[in-house]
Copies of this chain bind each other. A is one copy, B any other.
Amino acid sequence: MVEGVATQFGALVWGMGDGYNPAMSIRAAIIGPTGYTGFWLIDLLLRHPAAEVSYLASHRDELPNIAEIFPALRGRCELSCRPIDPDVMVKEADVVFTCLPHKAAMAYVPAMLDVDLRVVDLSADYRLTDAELYEEVYQTPHTDRANLEHAVYGLPELYRERIEGADLVANPGCYPTAAALALSPLLQRSLIKPENIVINAASGVTGAGKSPKPHLHYPEVNEAYSAYACGTHRHQPEIEQTLSDQKGSGVSVLFVPHLLPVDRGILETIYVNPQDDDVTEDDLYEAFDDAYGDEAFVRVQSELPNIKHVRDTNFCDLAVRMVETGAGRKVVVFAAEDNMIKGASGQAIQNMNLMFDQGGTAGLL
């Protein structure tokens, strides 16, 4: 057995993530913890070596114990929800995660920032930097343009430095996370064309939330599969915004999501055109290796990704193929992630780690 002293502790907990400070515990509040993203945030915080759930806040009249909502949490976390009170929350928390529907989030975020709580917002309210575009896409006025201006898009592999200093992080959508990781290195290095990008995506049902709906009733989803929102999904402009920012000029995509009969997981199969005849599959892999060689949560691989291999992890798995067709070559990029982890709560924790200088991987490996 390896005996050690406290100063050697870091190495011993290596398996749980690098570089965190064991003498610190980030106290995390969650507003709206009763949905699926709330559940996975709590689950991850409970496993986190340097963070804890300190405050669960709800706007419900009857404030439930979280273990009543999620029986899986009994014996692990049995906090009762409390009112959304910034003055109390700031005393008990260092960071607040807002797990609210769009529109509701921006109603609470300003008050959190006002008391100097740092915020990771899992809604869509601060993702689109252009307020007019937001209003068009979400069909509601943007009521917090002041904070929108300095919100940081929380995709650590692309915007790590800005996240570290941010007070307000807009946690990316599940679909946009996979798309941005899959395409950014190829666009930045001018290996693929910025137009005619087709993103064929499929997601597990938790992505649609916890509220029962006729089309999400078990016998309607089980043994079923179909597309929805073809070219009209709200994540399409978010994807285009990130890719255009990464490319430095306009990028447009066609995004077609499908509903998979599984709980969790997103696979995106992306069809793009190589920039020119010289681009090889090796070039594409080199771009990935170059971009993600030091990233703990992006796995560049030769095998085609499977949502099962990323389940319950913060990984995004990437592969790429250059295919000859009768009418020229086509690039196919594959990206898999767990929509609840890298696509939502895991990425939120990753952002928190960066904001509090805990190393990106603490609690996530």
- Which residues of A does B touch, CB under 8 Å? 1-9, 12-16, 22-27, 36, 45-50, 52, 71-72, 74-76, 94, 194-196, 198, 200, 202, 204-206, 210-214, 216-228, 230-231, 240, 250-254, 256, 258, 260-265, 267, 269, 271, 296-297, 299, 301, 303-313, 315, 321, 323-328, 330, 332, 334, 336, 356, 365
**Residue from B9, B297, B301 in contact with A9 in the complex, judged by beta carbons closer than 8 Å:** B9
- A49: B residues at CB distance < 8 A: 12-13, 16, 49
- A27: B residues at CB distance < 8 A: 1-2
Closest 5 pairs between A and B when the two form their complex, measured CB to CB: A252-B326, A195-B327, A231-B323, A226-B306, A224-B308
Copies of this chain, complex-wide, total 4
- A45: B residues at CB distance < 8 A: 15
Q: Can you give 16 contacting A-B residue pairs, CB < 8 Å? A: A5-B23, A6-B9, A12-B23, A47-B47, A71-B301, A75-B299, A194-B327, A212-B217, A218-B220, A218-B263, A224-B308, A226-B307, A227-B267, A231-B325, A252-B327, A261-B261
Contact A2 B12 (CB under 8 A): yes
Distance from A54 Cβ to chain B, minimum over Cβ atoms (Å): 9
**Residue from B14, B224, B305 in contact with A52 in the complex, judged by beta carbons closer than 8 Å:** B14
Which B-chain residue is minimally distant from A334 (CB atoms)? B227
- A334: B residues at CB distance < 8 A: 226-227
A226 to B254 CA separation, bound complex (whole angstroms): 20
Contact A15 B47 (CB under 8 A): yes
Contact A223 B311 (CB under 8 A): yes
- A24: B residues at CB distance < 8 A: 1-4, 12
A251 to B76 CA separation, bound complex (whole angstroms): 34
Distance from A134 Cβ to chain B, minimum over Cβ atoms (Å): 17
Of residues A16, A212, A305, A310, which shows the largest number of chain B Cβ atoms within 10 Å of its Cβ?
Answer: A212
Distance from A14 Cβ to chain B, minimum over Cβ atoms (Å): 7
Supplied contacts A74-B299, A271-B271, 4 more A-B pairs, CB within 8 Å: A12-B24, A198-B271, A226-B307, A260-B261
Distance from A19 Cβ to chain B, minimum over Cβ atoms (Å): 15
Contact A223 B265 (CB under 8 A): yes
Contact B310 A231 (CB under 8 A): no
A305 to B258 CA separation, bound complex (whole angstroms): 11
Contact A23 B4 (CB under 8 A): yes
